[in-house]
Amino acid sequence: MKILTVAFKNLQRKKIRTFLTIGGVAIAVAVLVSLMGFDAGYQKSLTNDIDKMGYQVLVTAKGCPYEAATLMLKGGGGLRYMEQAVFDKIASDPRIEKISPQLAATEFDKDRQNGQGGIILYMGVDNAYLGLKPWSKFKSGKWFSSEDADEVVIGYEAAELEQRSPGDQIFIPNLNKALKVVGVFQRTGTQDDGIMFVPLKTAQRIFNLPGKLTGIGIKLKDIGNLSDFEESLYNEPGIQVISMAQVKGTIFNLVSSSKAMTNSVAIIAILIAVIGVVNTILMSVFERTKEIGVMKAIGASRLDIFQIIWLETTLICFLGGFFGDIIAILGTNLVEHIIRQALPYAPAGKLVIIAPTLLLGSFLGAVVMGLISGIYPAYRASSMRPVEAIRSGD
Amino acid sequence: MNNILIKAEKISKTYILFAEEVNAVKDLDLEIRQGEFVAIMGPSGSGKTTLLDILGCLDRVSTGKLKVLGQDVSLLKESALVKIRRVNMGFVFQEFLLIPTLTALENVELPLLFAGLPQNRQQAVNLLEKVGLGKRVNHLPKELSGGERQRVAIARALVTSPKILFADEPTGNLDTKSGQQIFDIFKELNQKDNLTIVLTTHNNKLGLQAKRIIYLKDGNIVSRQESSLFV
């Protein structure tokens, strides 16, 4: 028999109490893992999302809300339009490597999402769009046959949702218009997965917005010219210039304030768990005063008693850390769903990324928490004097 | 019979109870030799348990000199006393005080764990057989009767092969029959194994079966006698 056996059997004495204490630690660890996983995942997928737009600068019509890029990506109202002439003027700038005019339009489809209705984002683009996104590959089908064909190329998720493949038709009820599906993209992990692409000219025609654009994506030959280039566009009337770095920064700022909140929640959860553990173990030490006394009488040293109680605490936190990791893994989707609702802008990729190092780190953190929480109760137990402990309550 | 295991000279124990000084043991002289079977008797509050605790190195004297196995323990700290206790002394208590989460066998092995001695399972089983619990080794204390629990406690006290066995009211929580059975075990250990036994009891019928009886009153010995009933 080992000291560990004695400690482990002690924990089995009051199973519900032990279970609840382990549960408290597990929940604290799960909250910590989820939040840290969110920190990592959000940063990564947001960066991925914005970098994979393929352009560093977005030009929009003046008056478009500041988070224009968000709207461009997510859909929704408030879109402002600019004239195609702006595009023609900018496009000749020699500093530009690639430039892509875009016309976004949203349609509410009441049959979407099992009758709840949903917004479908149509994006009018020209052939330059593909040039900005060399990583876009067709899962099936191909690009538009002409610049004003009544055709649509669908992002991966939109195709899944609509159950469409090349040859099928997409019907836009509000316009009473049908488009032919010619291609479906492979998954990119960005917002593109949910978009219906149509030729720019077709979009201008069917949405009745002739010569209008909502945005122009621009990739420069040399990123070092970015601020110069932005400067030169400030004088253009009726437009505003948004650099993607700026958008990223804005979104990070929006999120970081809520991150501070959630991090304090995690810290509070851990503190409560520590207090719970200390309280439980102290209570069980006092309940076992006589047992501790008799163990000392029959030869247990202070160190022996300290070890038993310390091990009990550490075991609780060890198990709490283990189950906390499991809860965090199982709960990823739920957390993802909840956070997605709460965020000002949620990128398309995984929001919560739980890396093995995070799991291991949190688990070890829980064990360390156990080692620390156990010190005081173990000290109290080891300080009991045998006679007083044995005769207590007589 | 001349081998002195414990020698107490003018020992006293004073403690504070409800802001009042209590002299639990006063200027007491006592010698305990190898192979003795001593019963400490006396009314409640006469200092029996305090004296037993002191002799068993569970508690320290306030004044006086106590020698255990030739070593002066009067001034030793708890950390030093525990080292003397765990290899030289075995303890049996009125309330048995087994660890409820451990089986009979594990309870018996526990002192070996603390003493850092090799845990010989067969030795522990043998001891349980010796006290008549050969078929109960894997039972938890709650599955045993009071008498059986006290037998486990005796086996636990014997596992480190101590020189002295201390028992504080070992039959106090048992019925007459179980009490006599436990007492018979003590007598047998004393006679067959020549184990020195010191116990407290206020059961006259049992106490008188010891070889030597010490009556305490107000913390001091009022009468010493050799028992004639010892068989």
Q: For B69-97, write each residue's pLDDT tens digit.
A: 989 999 898 889 999 999 999 999 999 99
Residue A68 clears pLDDT 50, i.e. is over it: no
> From the list A291, A301, A387, which residue is nearest B59 (CB)?
A387
Half-sphere exposure of A15 (CA within 13 A, CB side): 0
Q: How far apart are CA A289 and CA A291, in angstroms?
A: 5
Instruction: Collect all residues of chain B within an 8 Å Cβ-Cβ radius of residue A393.
Output: none
Give the distance from residue A284's alpha carbon to the nearest chain B alpha carbon, in angstroms: 13
CB atoms within 10 A of CB A159: 25
| A247-262 per-position pLDDT tens digit | 778 777 877 777 788 7
Ramachandran assignment for B26, one of left (phi > 0), alpha (psi -120 to 50 degrees), beta (any other) = beta
Task: Report domain extents, chain B.
Answer: 4-98+145-151+160-226
What is the ipTM metric for this complex?
0.92
Instruction: Tell me the per-residue pLDDT of A111-152, one tens digit each, with 9 for 90 and over.
Output: 666 666 677 888 899 888 888 888 888 989 899 998 888 999
Q: What is the mean pLDDT of residues A265-276?
A: 90
Answer yes or no: do A299 and B156 touch at CB < 8 A.
Answer: no
Q: Output the pLDDT for position B1.
A: 43
**Which residues lie below 8 Å from residue B55, measured CB to CB, with a gap of 6+?**
B6, B8, B30, B32, B66, B68, B166, B198
How wide is the angle at C-alpha A98 spanned by C-alphas A92 and A104, nearest 5°? 100
Residue B19 has a pLDDT of 80
Q: What is the pLDDT of residue A254?
A: 74
CA distance B12 to chain A (A): 16
CA-based nearest residue in chain A for residue B91: A298
Kindly report which listed range (A24-28, A184-188, A302-306) carries the lowest average pLDDT score. A184-188
Q: Mean pLDDT over residues A259-276, rounded?
A: 88
Amino acid present at A223: I
Closest residue in chain B to residue A384, using alpha carbons only? B78
DSSP labels for A92-123?
Answer: T-TTEEEEEEEEEEEEEETTTTTTT-EEEEEE
Structural domain boundaries in chain A? 3-48+255-391, 63-237
Q: What is the mean pLDDT of chain B?
A: 90
Third-level CATH fold of B4-98+145-151+160-226:
Rossmann fold (3.40.50)
Reported as a single tens digit per residue, the pLDDT across B214-227 is 999 988 888 888 76
Angle between helices B121-130 and B104-115 (to 10 degrees): 130
pLDDT given at position A113:
60
Alpha-carbon span B98 to A214, nearest angstrom: 82
Residue of A203, A199, A239, A198 lying closest to A218 (CA atoms): A239
Q: Residues of A near B (CB-CB distance < 8 A)?
A: 1-3, 5-6, 9-10, 12-13, 290-291, 293-302, 304, 385-387, 390-391
A-chain CB neighbours of B113 within 8 Å are 1-3, 6, 304
Spatial distance between the Cα atoms of A75 and A81, rounded to a whole number of angstroms: 14
Give the tokens for residue A239.
Answer: 């437009």
Q: How confident is the model at residue A67 (pLDDT cuts 50, 70, 90)?
A: very low
* Mean of all residue pLDDT scores within chain A: 85
Judge: A6–B110 Cβ closer than 8 Å, yes or no. Answer: yes
In this prediction, residue A48 has a pLDDT band, given cuts at 50, 70 and 90, of: confident
Q: What is the pLDDT of residues A324-380, one digit of tens each?
A: 999 999 998 888 888 777 766 677 777 888 899 999 999 999 999 999 999 999 999
Measured CA angle at A257 (ends A255, A260), to 5 deg: 110
Residue A1 with chain B: CB contacts under 8 Å: 102, 106, 109-110, 113, 119
**Which pLDDT score is estimated for A359?**
94
> B207 pLDDT exceeds 70?
yes
Q: Is the pLDDT of residue B65 over 90?
A: yes
Q: Which residue of chain B has the CA closest to A300?
A: B114
Tens of pLDDT, residues A101-111: 988 888 877 76
3-state secondary structure of B148: helix
pLDDT at A74 over 70: no
Contacts of A335 (CB under 8 A, 6+ apart): A34, A37, A38, A352
Q: How confident is the model at residue A393 (pLDDT cuts 50, 70, 90)?
A: low
Q: What is the pLDDT of residues B126-169, one digit of tens each?
A: 999 999 998 999 999 999 999 999 999 999 999 999 999 999 99
Minimum-distance CB partner of A299 among B85, B99, B102: B85
Q: Which residue has the higher pLDDT, A77 or A24?
A: A24
d(CA B206, CA A164): 96
Are the C-beta atoms of residues A31 and A269 closer than 8 Å to each other? yes
| Among B93, B127, B154, B159, the residue to mutate for chain A (most A Cβ within 10 A) | B93
Please tell me which of the candidates B93, B100, B114 has its beta carbon nearest to residue A299.
B114
Torsion sign, CA atoms A137, A142, A148, A154: negative
Q: Do A296 and B97 touch (CB under 8 A)?
A: no
- CA of B195, closest CA in chain A: separation in Å? 17
- So what's the pLDDT on residue A187? 87
